Amino acid sequence: MSLKKRVLGTLAVVGAVAVGGWFSLDKETRGLLATAPTNRDVLFWTQPQRDAAFRAMDRIPLLAKSHVVPASGTASPLPPGPPLKLQSDVDAYMAGQRSAALLVVHEGKLRLERYGLGFDGTGRWTSFSVAKSFTSTLVGAAVKDGFIQSLDDKVSIYIPELKGSAYDEVSVRQLLTMTSGVQWNEDYADPNSDVAKFNNHQPEDGMEALVSYMRKLGRAAPAGTRWLYSTGETNLVGTLVQRATQKPLATYLAEKVWGPAGMEQQATWLLSKTGKEIGGCCIQALPRDYARMGLFILNGAKVNGTSIVPEGWWAEATTKRTEIGIPGRGYGYQWWTYDDGSYTARGIFGQGIFIDPQRQLVIVSNASWAGGARDPQASAARESFYQEVQKAIDAEKAAPAS
């Protein structure tokens, strides 16, 4: 970007802030405005823009509006445990990840908690597609609450505007597992891909922009026969939950998860141009609250001993429902699965919540990867880190008592 465009962009943001009240922003946010992006195309921001915005997505005017998910009245404890003994250099690993937060919780205790990029544990970091797994959990809650009758219902029952489109024959379950067979391009490097274009779509009169875009897509394969990752489809899942429950996603998340799980700080959920939460993206939360989310799921999402989702939900949601072309891996209901029983929520640029029920382990990652949205090198390093933590836990269990 040229200096002239950068100055004009910054002035545009400052002008927008002036309208809303410059002094209503905290000191950190005012400082971030100098490098903050002036458009919503996150895939094509510079590294300094990402570093600035990922910690302030819900506070910088011109980027997005959000709904608040209130904090719980009483935060659930995250007591410290003994430091985790790892063979590798954690500082070097975090530097390679460009890590903003790294937390390891084992048996409910914090065994590792580190921060970077000038970020600390008191702020919120954006989740990107980690939110997909949150939205999936709300589907389970909506089934338990009777708002969704069956995962085998057709999507068009809940979103009638999809009647007559390629989604007319797609079930809720197929939407959850991304096996709709509807065409979609999720290439983050291609400005003409669906994932790059759909947020800027001009909707038909009286129709939500997302639904207007998705209903025009063609069929590429029979429903249920092919897996294809599609953020647009998780956004449809979010729309479906909102239609079924007649509640904003932030409200339902507060009722079913954020309050019961004892979240320490309020979260925010970014809104689309039409004022609805984006089901496939963009919850901002405290890193420790991401860890609490992992523990809530690990413990069956129970409130007073009763799960918020139907019996058997987690056995289906967090195990392989479809192949993804990687040995030992699969996809569940918006969760990435491993054949050893572990599963993870994943977001672009290095966000993640890894859950290992066998070892009672939760690993939270927040980052701003340098190698792009799906940085292959950073992704491989993170998988190796997960395995190293698992081995360290196993070694502790195998060690003779002193």
Helix locations, 246-346, DSSP H:
249-253, 287-298, 313-317
The structure tokens listed for 230 are 């599609």
Three-state DSSP class for 358?
A: helix
Give per-residue pLDDT as tens, 378-397: 999 999 999 999 999 999 99
Average model confidence (pLDDT) across the chain: 89
Give per-residue pLDDT as tens, 99-128: 999 999 999 999 999 999 999 989 999 999
One domain, residues 113 and 238: yes
Q: Above 70 in pLDDT, residue 326?
A: yes
One domain, residues 33 and 103: no
CA 337-339-340 angle, 5° bins: 105
Within a domain: 82: no
Sign of CA dihedral 378, 379, 383, 389: positive
The structure tokens listed for 270 are 């970014």
Within a domain: 177: yes
Q: What is the pTM of this model?
A: 0.90
What integer is the mean pLDDT of 156-178?
96
One domain, residues 249 and 134: yes
One domain, residues 308 and 173: yes
Identify which of 119, 4, 2, 110 has the alpha carbon closest to the alpha carbon of residue 53. 119
Q: Above 80 in pLDDT, residue 147?
A: yes
Q: Above 70 in pLDDT, residue 323?
A: yes
Within a domain: 264: yes
- Percent of the chain's residues with pLDDT above 70: 89
One domain, residues 283 and 391: yes
One domain, residues 128 and 26: no
- Percent of the chain's residues with pLDDT above 90: 77
The tally of domains found in the chain comes to: 2
Q: Indicate the residue among 13, 43, 61 that finishes a domain.
A: 61
Burial classification of residue 164, based on how many CB atoms lie within 10 Å of its CB (0-12 exposed, 13-18 middle, 19 or more buried): exposed
Within a domain: 125: yes
d(CA 35, CA 385): 31
One domain, residues 361 and 272: yes
CATH value at residue 392? 3.40.710.10
Q: Above 60 in pLDDT, residue 14?
A: no
What integer is the mean pLDDT of 358-374?
96
One domain, residues 221 and 357: yes
Residue 156 domain boundaries: 90-398
- The reported pLDDT for the residue numbered 38 is 57
Give per-residue pLDDT as tens, 226-261: 999 999 999 999 999 999 999 999 999 999 999 999
The structure tokens listed for 16 are 């927008």
Q: Above 90 in pLDDT, residue 4?
A: no
One domain, residues 33 and 176: no
Within a domain: 321: yes
Q: Indicate the residue among 18, 45, 61 that finishes a domain.
A: 61
- CB proximity list for 310: less than 8 A, separation 6 or greater: 140, 143, 144
Q: Above 90 in pLDDT, residue 165?
A: yes
Higher pLDDT, residue 25 or 156: 156
CA 210-216-217 angle, 5° bins: 95
- The reported pLDDT for the residue numbered 31 is 55
One domain, residues 217 and 113: yes
What integer is the mean pLDDT of 140-146?
98
Give per-residue pLDDT as tens, 280-315: 999 999 999 999 999 999 999 999 999 999 999 999
Within a domain: 75: no
pLDDT band at 64 (very low <50, low <70, confident <90, very high): low
Within a domain: 85: no
130-144 vs 231-245: helix crossing angle, rounded to 10: 30
Within a domain: 389: yes
**Residues belonging to the chain:** 402
Give per-residue pLDDT as tens, 250-259: 999 999 999 9
Q: Indicate the residue among 42, 61, 80 that finishes a domain.
A: 61
What integer is the mean pLDDT of 189-218?
84
One domain, residues 135 and 182: yes
One domain, residues 132 and 51: no
Write the DSSP assignment of 292-321 as a string of letters.
HHHHHHHTTSEETTEESS-TTHHHHHTS-S
What integer is the mean pLDDT of 117-142?
96
Q: Above 90 in pLDDT, residue 372?
A: no
Sign of CA dihedral 284, 345, 257, 254: positive
